[in-house]
Amino acid sequence: MSPLTDTPSWHALLAHREAMAGTTLEALWQRDPERGGALTFECAGIAVDFSKQRVDGETVKLLTALARERDVPAGISTLFAGEKVNVTEGRPALHMALRGDEHVSVDGKDVYPEIQGNRERMRVFAEAVRNGQWKGANGDAFTHVLALGIGGSSLGPRLVIEAMRGEADGPQVRFCSNVDAAEFDDAIRGLDPRTTLVVIASKTFTTQETMVNALAAREWIAGTLGEGAIARHFVAPTSNRSAAADFGLPDCNVFPFAEWVGGRYSLWSSVGLPIAIAIGTERFGRMLAGAHAADLEFRSDPLERNVPALLALFGIWNRDALGMATHAVLSYASRLESLPAYLQQLEMESNGKRVDREGRPVSFATCPVVWGGTETPGQHAFHQWLHQGTDAASCDFIVVAQPMGTRAIHHEILLSHACAQSEALMTGTDPGDPHRACPGNRVSTTLVLPKLDAYHLGALLAIYEHKVFVQSCVWGINAFDQFGVELGKTIASRILPAVQGANVPLHPATAHLLGIVRKLAGST
């Protein structure tokens, strides 16, 4: 495939950018007061209002033409057909199959029976933990789950369990991801080993942080209950059954998922086990159903009203034509506090790439920095930068229509702020004092969930997954590998013996830095 910047549609878009250069969002609204309706679309019950993007009908036409020239429709078919879209690792990316009901083949083998089997095993186990049939070694029902895992093996379950806090009626889940001992200590503080189930989630079952925490958990449980308790207290969602067996887990404690499920796309698999235990398998199923509904619409909607595709295309417009280097996710829902971190991995680990699928350096910007926060607290922290900083960021506002708590006034105020912020970013103000002026013309999209429930959360996450995929198609990059994370891991394993006192050769900069750390470690 030719580089993006060589395509006629890209050049047409750049010419259009010049034609739009002096046009503000306010001018676009004055020109077409109906643009709200024309630029709002729906996917799986979620309404997405793009009317505060610096685009008009012509922009949409040119962006969808670009997507067609970059073979996005064919890319979508290829993805869902189970073809090896992860070209560098020779694997499909078929996480959608985990939430669907279709027979899909990988290397000529129908994987649906295996998906169904894994789903059923997970269902039976999660319900057994919830109703006390699966007990600890001393016969106690589990009151807590210690969920170990990092990156995609943690961020999704953490986000969903927090979001569904109001409906969580199973054992409480504590997460531990970091290899910082304080995080482990905090995670087990107040827990009783007799009533704690440990879930070790790791696709590879080799990730250092997770393995070190798993050994600490094992020591903690076995210290009280003996080694014989491991088989009652530890389970592992993983693709590496033999490593789980080496850890001492019987096969029935291992909840496998396929190699073609990428880590950051794995919450739909057995990695979601803590979710199913916390909120029940019925709600977990509704999360899958919401995501599946979004999949179906993504596959069938024309690009002109295809929500994930439009999120992707307006993102590319903002990034590559309008030069915005950062993208903020603003959750107007306290329980979505982990959404920015989740999307950070999804977008930045997928599309933070500098070469195309053929390995050629790209000559345009790919994934922006994804960041964000929970609102309204963020309004009292970083929104100043959004309104008056020297860099313009694009923003996604996440709004929930139905009240999330018991007090109506809170929700009314929350909604008023969500609407006010996107309006303020768009209109700005000029009171005649440069310190108080806000330039406005800053773009945003607002995604409105009818309700913060499992179905719409599933749909929301699937929409973002597909946004990432469409962007990767247009940019011509592979969204499904993450080789950039390897170098640091290799260097850390080289440095560890030095940290532990061995005399090993170090880069002078690292030797210098370790010297500082050692000196301060010895100080009071």
Active site amino acids: 349, 380, 489
d(CA 171, CA 65): 50
Compute the least distance from the CB of residue 332 to ligand F6P, in Å.
Answer: 27
Say if residue 305 is exposed, middle or buried (CB neighbours under 10 Å; 0-12, 13-18, 19+): middle
d(CA 51, CA 54): 8
Q: Is there binding between residue 151 and ligand F6P (CB under 6 A)?
A: yes
124, two tokens: 């039976």
Compute the least distance from the CB of residue 261 to ligand F6P, in Å.
Answer: 10
Q: Is there binding between residue 482 and ligand F6P (CB under 6 A)?
A: yes
Q: Is there binding between residue 91 and ligand F6P (CB under 6 A)?
A: no
**Contact with ligand F6P (CB under 6 A): which of 92, 156, 171, 263?**
263
Say if residue 309 is exposed, middle or buried (CB neighbours under 10 Å; 0-12, 13-18, 19+): buried
**Contact with ligand F6P (CB under 6 A): which of 95, 203, 232, 466?**
203
d(CA 464, CA 347): 8
**Contact with ligand F6P (CB under 6 A): which of 204, 416, 493, 510?**
204
**Contact with ligand F6P (CB under 6 A): which of 196, 202, 306, 478?**
202
| Cα atoms in the Cβ-side hemisphere of radius 13 Å centred on 355 | 10
Number of Cβ atoms within 10 Å of the Cβ of 300: 9
Compute the least distance from the CB of residue 149 to ligand F6P, in Å.
Answer: 6
The CA-based dihedral angle spanning residues 224, 229, 233, 238, taken in that order and rounded to the nearest 10 degrees = 120
Q: Which of 44-52, 149-157, 315-323, 471-479 is the region at the interface with ligand F6P (rule: CB under 6 A)?
A: 149-157
Say if CB 466 and CB 46 are below 8 A apart.
Answer: no
Q: Which of 202-210, 224-232, 280-288, 383-391 is the region at the interface with ligand F6P (rule: CB under 6 A)?
A: 202-210
Q: Is there binding between residue 493 and ligand F6P (CB under 6 A)?
A: no
Q: Is there binding between residue 158 and ligand F6P (CB under 6 A)?
A: no
Say if CB 396 and CB 464 are below 8 A apart.
Answer: no
Say if residue 235 is exposed, middle or buried (CB neighbours under 10 Å; 0-12, 13-18, 19+): buried
Q: Is there binding between residue 150 and ligand F6P (CB under 6 A)?
A: yes
For 109-136, give one letter per residue: b (16+ CB within 10 A) or e. Answer: eebeeebeebbeebbebbbebbeeebbb
Q: Which of 60-68, 203-211, 414-422, 470-478 is the region at the interface with ligand F6P (rule: CB under 6 A)?
A: 203-211
Looking at residues 441 to 480 of the shown chain, list those that interact with ligand F6P (rule: CB under 6 A): none
| Cα atoms in the Cβ-side hemisphere of radius 13 Å centred on 10 | 13
Q: How many residues belong to the site for ligand F6P (CB under 6 A)?
A: 14
Compute the least distance from the CB of residue 202 to ligand F6P, in Å.
Answer: 3
d(CA 472, CA 356): 9
* x-or-dash string of contact with ligand F6P, 345-364, rule CB under 6 A: ----x---------------
Compute the least distance from the CB of residue 210 to ligand F6P, in Å.
Answer: 5
217, two tokens: 């958990």
Q: Is there binding between residue 53 and ligand F6P (CB under 6 A)?
A: no
Q: Is there binding between residue 207 and ligand F6P (CB under 6 A)?
A: yes
**Contact with ligand F6P (CB under 6 A): which of 136, 152, 170, 308?**
152
Residue number, 39 or 244, with CB nearest to ligand F6P: 244
**Scanning the structure block, which residue is given the tokens 């010297």?**
515
Residue type, 103: H
- Going by C-alpha positions, the residue among 17, 21, 24, 15 that lies closest to residue 443 is 24
**DSSP 8-state class, residue 152:** G
Q: Which of 151-159, 188-196, 242-250, 321-329 is the region at the interface with ligand F6P (rule: CB under 6 A)?
A: 151-159
**Contact with ligand F6P (CB under 6 A): which of 485, 491, 504, 517?**
485
59, two tokens: 């922009």
Compute the least distance from the CB of residue 158 to ligand F6P, in Å.
Answer: 12
Q: Is there binding between residue 177 and ligand F6P (CB under 6 A)?
A: no
Residue number, 71 or 481, with CB nearest to ligand F6P: 481
d(CA 104, CA 40): 33
Applying CB under 6 A, the residues found at the interface with ligand F6P are: 150-153, 202-204, 207, 210, 263-264, 349, 482, 485
